[in-house]
Chains A and B, each alone.
Chain A
């Protein structure tokens, strides 16, 4: 009995001991998903963050950089608890990462309320771009609606008059559909919102889409559902008959798998994105070749955004010469977006989301025969997201 009591005491003591503060270093907390099937995205982000740190010699403005990675387990509550730990116990200067909107929304107050910087390397919920925008929040990705809005323009340019939409029935899925509806001028003749994340069989939806005879099908299926969808699209004999337009579905994580099963239907399919691995900017070239060399695979867009996160933070620390108490100085430096970005030079909007170009991308084979995507042209130039006008800042 007493052993147990002592044991409990030791646990508490050990926890306290682990909290001694260190000076002369920049502490960054990075929250992403490392477990669950979504862990594959988190791995790409963590790899990119590590690559970025290596490329800058793990130094920012003369200070050593210390990173603490935390796994949110794909759950908002756990994400918030890990964020609390980073802010309250580890006393980090920046909290970055976040794949999922709900995890970011749940964690937001823990960081901003403590007066620290919060940087989203992926999630871009409309709330944070609009009503809930904050001076200490920055994004190195995009607002959810922007990429499908670019796709709407692509559809107009390609003369698509009737569109069939299939997307998962959750917040991001609805954002994507709303985004494409905002710019697409033709008629949406059918719309299926499928169960998320458990539904991976789309036989019923594909049968409906075929019967509706649209000019094009628009989909949004991130992660494993994307692979399942593309596969079934081909098995149903739709690829080659009805052009497929996707956002966040075909990426460098899914393409190697498609190539392995020779899913030829994905070749030549279209998508929109703010970046592509072949983008002709110095930083992107350095990043892609470095990533391929270190990890032996193409980086995903998640990785690209995360790589940018490193350089955004570096620009802030350097602007104040390592004086991490100078929040105003660091904020002003970040708001200038004065760092080498994989997307090339860009500006921040007043809600601290990038004002950036969106490209049409196509799946191609690279010189080694590896499937990848190539940017074809700019669809939206210097695009400001829809919610920036609601941001009172």
Chain B
């Protein structure tokens, strides 16, 4: 193991972390403020990727694809909220889980009918497709650097939005006491729709960032959704700051597990046993992290609500 490898793996973990943050930010806002468990958040991530792939195909430009894909996902999110989810706010979590699971099935099948079963690819412009030498001898894919940059900008933007603006104040108020916001004479319906749209656009953005790396596929949303839930639960539901910290934590732990767990285990047990145990343990690692955090802090790391 060299320092260069350690640096590269840290970057990889960081990159996975900010990608998870993009997805988790919307999820935790919707959850914290509207008290809605939205499994269909993964469908918006998938939709963003499919939109971006289609627009990129039409315009031959990934950048334009993203710029068109963002408002498209935002509109889709708003439509989903107004048609199906709005009535679910007052329901219990179980109803929400089921109805939004139904939305997943619907969107997956719709995507299959529109785009076919084989999925799509997003070609990157040449300047993003290569890699750069970040330190002597350490090459890192340009596009992954872009993901980190985008993720950090979004985090900063959200921080400013939440901490410094009127909408942010309402968001904070909503996360800690939902009824208060309504009592303030705010158009709560409108606020909710807006927040949901914002979360949808962020999920779509995450899909657009993941698309060029992992290809665009039906069902891509569910795979990462569970991880995003792990993130917001560790971070404390409703907390953007918690989601950010937890996303980086999950990204780093997952990557480090995949990177170094086999070496570590080989020092402790025989080679063969280590070869079997390492992949199993690294797959479980984020769950172990979550169970451990919840065991000591049943409300997550940064619970905005007391009790």
Contact = CB atoms under 8 A, between A and B. Distances in A.
Quick check: do A and B touch in the complex, using CB within 8 A?
yes
Interface stretch (B35-43, B139-147, B149-157, B195-203): B139-147
A234 B220 CA distance: 22
Interface stretch (A21-29, A83-91, A192-200): A192-200
Contact of B131 (A211, A235, A261): A235
Interface stretch (A112-120, A202-210, A348-356): A202-210
A194 B255 CA distance: 11
B279 A204 contact: no
Contacts of B218: 36-37
Nearest to A39: B117
A326 interface: no
Contacts of A257: 118-119, 121, 215
Which A-B residue pairs are the 7 nearest by beta carbons?
A: A200-B214, A193-B279, A203-B12, A169-B279, A261-B123, A235-B141, A204-B258
B12 A169 contact: no
A207 B119 contact: no
B259 interface: yes
A7 interface: no
B217 A169 contact: no
A40 interface: yes
Given A235-B141, A236-B139, A261-B123, A204 B215 contact: no
A174 B306 CA distance: 48
Contacts of B142: 235
Given A193-B278, A195-B282, A207-B9, 10 more contacts: A37-B117, A200-B215, A208-B259, A211-B1, A227-B121, A228-B214, A231-B215, A234-B129, A235-B213, A261-B123
Contact of B123 (A40, A192, A204, A262): A262
A261 B128 CA distance: 13
Nearest to A229: B214
Contact of B144 (A203, A211, A231): A203
A253 interface: yes
Contacts of B275: 191, 193
Contacts of A208: 5, 259
Nearest to B141: A235
A176 to B, nearest CB: 14
Nearest to A260: B121
A62 interface: no
Contact of B8 (A36, A43, A207, A235): A207
A201 interface: yes
Interface string A230-268: 011011110000000000000001000100111000000
Contact of B4 (A211, A227, A228): A211
A337 B188 CA distance: 72
A224 interface: yes
B270 to A, nearest CB: 15
A40 B249 CA distance: 36
Contacts of B1: 211
A205 B215 CA distance: 18
Contacts of B9: 204, 207
Interface in B249-282: 255, 258-259, 262, 275, 278-280, 282
Nearest to B142: A235
Secondary structure dominating the interface of B:
helix
Interface string B210-226: 10111101111001000
A40 B219 CA distance: 13
Contact of B119 (A37, A234, A237, A261): A37
B15 interface: yes
B89 to A, nearest CB: 30
A198 B210 CA distance: 14
Contact of A201 (B112, B121, B213, B279): B213
A43 B213 contact: no
A320 to B, nearest CB: 38
A253 B121 CA distance: 13
A43 to B, nearest CB: 6
B123 A260 contact: yes
B287 to A, nearest CB: 12
Contacts of B8: 207, 211
19 contacts: A37-B117, A37-B218, A39-B112, A43-B117, A169-B279, A192-B258, A193-B278, A195-B279, A200-B215, A203-B12, A203-B16, A208-B259, A228-B213, A232-B141, A235-B144, A237-B130, A237-B139, A253-B118, A261-B122
Given A208-B5, A262-B123, A224 B279 contact: no
A337 B123 CA distance: 45
A234 B142 CA distance: 12
Contact of A236 (B15, B141, B279): B141
B283 interface: yes
A224 B223 contact: no
